[in-house]
Amino acid sequence: MLYKPFKDLSLSALGFGAMRLPVLNGNEAEIDEEETARMVDYAMRAGINYFDTAWGYHSENSETVMGKILKNYPRDSFYLATKFPGYDIKNLSRMEEIFSRQMEKLQTDYFDFYLVHNVCEVNIEYYLKPDLVDFLLKKKAEGKIRHLGFSIHGDINIMKSFLEAFGDVMEFGQIQLNWFDWSFQDAKAKVELLREYNIPFLVMEPLRGGKLASLPAEAESRLRELRADETIPAWSFRYLQGFEEAVVILSGMSDMSQLDANCKTFETFAPTSESENTVLYEIADSLRTGVPCTACRYCTKSCPAKLDIPRLLYLYNEFTFTDGGFLAKLALSAVDKDKQPSACIGCRRCIDLCPQMISIPEVLKEFAEKVAE
């Protein structure tokens, strides 16, 4: 297992994400505890020492199951991470209750890593109030949190405002980073911003929920020409090995074969080269769905409904790539009703202004219909 330094710690470069554990009867709330215990044991023996869970994973059962399993190992033999579920703003009035319950569920009296969970458009207004971060800093002063950080699914502007407020007390960030999202979700801007703040990061969604684990035949054969023995999922991990500040790459593994394959990948340091990254980015371009909006914003000046057209088109692209997914819907839920795709009045004033010749009203109409479904 490869290890990366974080302050005075040595963290396994591959982290065990407890958000897609094996389940029984196809029910995500019913974790297969026996199989999960076998996987944790295998992970420990393979050298993984970072375990990441959260209040909301597996319908609030992930922390309980991980607590039961991890109590069988010396507490100082692993690093435990969980998160405060402020993505649901109702939870912000239950900080003490939720934090105490997390300690009970995880059967611990301290968390090595604790994150403000999912900073995004829906909750930024509430997260920017000092209440939660002040509460967590108090827990840190009491020794119940060793390292405080945040995870983010919001866009770069959300991240900027969060860091402007709390960049001085955040010790790490957790971002969605992979070769597809480098430009698709502008992960590049997030990496650069964290570099400005000198904040190391953990990576989530290295395979974008499995979407990058297999590729169209033509793309796979391009990659095989470059590295005959590398598996397709391993390409994503090799790409991330190229980021020096990426401390832990979290993978939500659902079975032993995925865990075994990922552990093998992390036995060697073989980051992709610049020319290999160019190929990955070309493949990413070929996988893109949706519309080629470049966010030039020429169209917005003429819109009588004052819609943030490029933002809506960005969410449309996310929505179509993930077959609905959750990110686009979540971000859209933070958009005012009169600024939703359905608010387009079809005046067509924007069309002639778009250098990419995107049929904006038709796309927004389709988006509104799909979201309504």
Instruction: Give me the residues that bind ligand SF4 (CB under 6 A), please.
Output: 293-299, 302-305, 307, 309-310, 313, 344-350, 353-354, 356, 358, 360-361, 364
Whole-number minimum distance, CB 246 to ligand SF4, in Å? Answer: 31
Instruction: Tell me if 194 sits within 8 A of 175, measured CB to CB.
Output: yes
CA–CA dist 20, 114 (Å, integer): 19
Whole-number minimum distance, CB 345 to ligand SF4, in Å? Answer: 5
Helix (H) or strand (E) holding 146: strand 145-152
Whole-number minimum distance, CB 177 to ligand SF4, in Å? Answer: 24
The smaller minimum CB distance to ligand SF4, of residues 62 and 320, is found at 320
Q: What single letter denotes the amino acid at residue 354? A: C
CA–CA dist 303, 50 (Å, integer): 49
- Cα-based distances in Å from 345 to 290, 354, 365, 368: 21, 17, 9, 12
The smaller minimum CB distance to ligand SF4, of residues 210 and 304, is found at 304
CA–CA dist 173, 148 (Å, integer): 9
Q: What is the DSSP string of 166-207?
A: HTTT--EEEEE--TTHHHHS-HHHHHHHHHHHT--EEEE-TT
Residue given tokens 């359905």 in the structure block: 342
Whole-number minimum distance, CB 234 to ligand SF4, in Å? Answer: 35
- Cite the beta strand spans of 189-307 per DSSP E: 201-204, 246-251
Q: Beta strands 50-52 and 14-17: pairing type?
A: parallel
Whole-number minimum distance, CB 341 to ligand SF4, in Å? Answer: 9
Instruction: Tell me if 233 sits within 8 A of 261, measured CB to CB.
Output: yes
The smaller minimum CB distance to ligand SF4, of residues 180 and 367, is found at 367
Q: Which two tokens stand for residue 125?
A: 């207004």
Whole-number minimum distance, CB 192 to ligand SF4, in Å? Answer: 22
Q: Name the β-bridge partners of 249.
A: 14, 203
Whole-number minimum distance, CB 294 to ligand SF4, in Å? Answer: 5
The smaller minimum CB distance to ligand SF4, of residues 335 and 354, is found at 354
The smaller minimum CB distance to ligand SF4, of residues 279 and 364, is found at 364
CA–CA dist 195, 68 (Å, integer): 37
Whole-number minimum distance, CB 183 to ligand SF4, in Å? Answer: 15
The smaller minimum CB distance to ligand SF4, of residues 213 and 305, is found at 305
Whole-number minimum distance, CB 353 to ligand SF4, in Å? Answer: 6
In this structure, the dihedral spanned by the alpha carbons of residues 9, 14, 15 and 18, taken in order and rounded to 10 degrees, is: -170
The smaller minimum CB distance to ligand SF4, of residues 192 and 352, is found at 352
CA–CA dist 239, 247 (Å, integer): 14
Residue given tokens 């023996």 in the structure block: 45
Whole-number minimum distance, CB 308 to ligand SF4, in Å? Answer: 9
* 56 closest CA partner among 112, 128, 105: 105
Instruction: Tell me if 24 sits within 8 A of 254, measured CB to CB.
Output: no
The smaller minimum CB distance to ligand SF4, of residues 73 and 298, is found at 298
